[in-house]
Amino acid sequence: MTVELAGTAERTLPGDEFAALYAQAQRFYAHQMRLLDTHDTERWAETFTEDALLHPLSQPGPIRARAGLENYVRTGAAHQRRAGSRLDHWVGMLDVRPQPDGSLHTRCSALVHATPGQGGPKVLYVCVMQDVLVRSRGEWRIAHRRVTRDDLA
């Protein structure tokens, strides 16, 4: 599945219906980033579909399915604990594009910053996340995510 926002056939929705979908997407990302930042790996992985695909910045190839996602986050959390820093994510500039099949194509900016045990936060990455969100068991879940450095997006 390819995430491509430009040129996709968008589904036009009435303003109030779109506003409700947009609010759902915002809540989804706030919840998902909170799970990631608190190292709740299992619940974070559950925000993806069973067969999800993640293309992160830190790896040349994609991570497939939930078990790989959990391992990826668990490894990152262990690294942060050893380094004595806290990693946080901020998501903004969210663009939501409803698709004819009911999925949402989203694009947002993400700041990833570390706060060491001593001192102030330091921005590590400015990224663009492009996702395909689908409904699964009544919840929005990510079927595909591509994370790109902002200057390469």
CB of 29 closer than 8 Å to CB of 94 = yes
Residue 106's pLDDT band, with cuts at 50, 70 and 90, is: very high
| CATH architecture designation of domain 15-152 | Roll (3.10)
Q: What is the pLDDT of residue 152?
A: 79
Q: For residue 47, which phi and psi values (nearest 5 degrees)? A: -80, 0
For the cut 80, the answer to whether the pLDDT of residue 14 exceeds it is no
Q: Is 141 or 60 the better-scoring residue by pLDDT? A: 141
For the cut 70, the answer to whether the pLDDT of residue 2 exceeds it is no
Domain boundaries along the sequence of the chain: 15-152
CA distance 9 to 80: 41
